[in-house]
Structure formats: structure tokens, C-alpha cells
Chain A
Amino acid sequence: EVQLVESGGGLVQPGRSLRLSCAASAFTFDDYAMHWVRQAPGKGLEWVSGIGWNSGNIGYADSVKGRFTISRDNAKNSLYLQMNSLRAEDTALYYCAKDRFGELLTHFDYWGQGTLVTVSS
């Protein structure tokens, strides 16, 4: 069964940095695009960023462009999100999600359980 396990969340002060990780298993990781999707407490879903199978296609939401960097290590079956200059509005549960395809950024057929990021002084 496909598993996506996020880690790296926690409490961080505004302006600081945090790096999230997602460990994937039970599928051929380097065949698929991957994404980060977040959900602020009590709010809806917001796509954050996605990356194609070979890192050749990368996209960001306007709200995080220039502050967040997505990356992947196919040898380690892992996805990452480097978050810099964090703001209070970045507080959310961050989900790792698998795409249905490899290169294009499309829809998400498997999700992790999320890691909580809280930005507060």
C-alpha cells in the first residue's frame, strides 16, 4: 500500500526557516510528480508546490513563490520543502501528495497524514 509520511513540522518564529520531508514507499517514486498541499486550521485546501519526476517541471503558488523551495531525492524516495521567511499565515497542516502522472502537475491520488507547522512568536 502506498505510504507517504511527512515530518519536520513544529513551532517556529516569524522570519525563520523550516524544512519538511516526506518519505514515500510502496510505489516507484521516480515515476511520479509529487506535491505539497496545506490546510490552515479550520480552512480549505491550498496547493503549495509540485515537482515532476525528474525535477524538470516545478510550480509554486503565488503565496509562497520566492520563499519556499521544493526538491526531491529519487535515490532516497523522499520529497522536501524548504520554507524560508515564514509568516503567521503559513501556519497549516502540510500534506505530501502523489500525482497521478510523472511530468505534468495534475491531480493527487494518494496523501500523507500531514505535518503541522505553526508560525508564532
Chain B
Amino acid sequence: EIVLTQSPATLSLSPGERATLSCRASQSVSRYLAWYQQKPGQAPRLLIYDASNRATGIPARFSGSGSGTDFTLTISSLEPEDSAVYYCQQRSNLITFGQGTRLEI
């Protein structure tokens, strides 16, 4: 099983700042990594797929990068509504999720 480790566990930033969230895989997943946003009481929402492709309707302030074992989700200028838990997910070998990063604005 491929283990995804996200860091930091919690990130506290102010509106307008830049957020950088990390996801590290226990073995290479090529570019087969996605990012999701989940707000309290809501289902997750797909933000980024295959490492760097924004999903439909996702604002340009969200971007993804990386390949192999190290990936990053960047939110360029934070807005209050970006407060949420963010999960990475790999599809290289079955499917697994990271444990999540809580972003507080």
C-alpha cells in the first residue's frame, strides 16, 4: 500500500497570504496525484488532478506541482472561504488518501 504523508498537520495564515501544503508518497506515484478540499459538513471537492490540472470551476489561485514522491498544493492568495481540510490522493496503485492538512484562515 502506498502511504501518503501530508504536512503540516495544521496551517494558520491570514487572508492574502500564500499557503503551501505538502504531500509525500512512500513510493513513486508518477503524476497520479489529486488534491481535495473538504469544508465542515460537506463532501470533498476535487481541486487538482494528475498533479497539476485544475478541476472544472476551480479558481486559478489553486495550483499543484510535483512528481514521483513529492507534491505541493499552493494557494496563491488566501481568502477566508479557503478554510478547510485538504487531502491528497494517489491512483498509482489502487487508491489511498493522505491524512489531511487543516488550513485555518
Contact = CB atoms under 8 A, between A and B. Distances in A.
Contacts of B94: 47, 59, 61, 105
A114 B36 CA distance: 16
Contacts of A95: 43-44
Nearest to A95: B43
Interface stretch (B14-22, B72-80, B95-103): B95-103
Most chain A CB within 10 A, of B43, B50, B97, B100, is at B43
A104 to B, nearest CB: 8
A50 interface: yes
B97 A44 contact: yes
B49 A62 contact: no
B87 A44 contact: yes
A112 B1 contact: no
A2 B100 CA distance: 26
A110 B66 CA distance: 24
A50 B43 contact: no
A60 to B, nearest CB: 8
Interface of B: 1, 32, 34, 36, 38, 43-46, 49-50, 55-56, 85, 87, 89, 91, 94-100
**5 pairs of A and B residues whose beta carbons are closest in the complex:** A111-B43, A47-B95, A107-B34, A45-B97, A107-B49
Given A45-B38, A45-B100, 5 more contacts: A44-B85, A61-B94, A106-B32, A108-B34, A109-B55
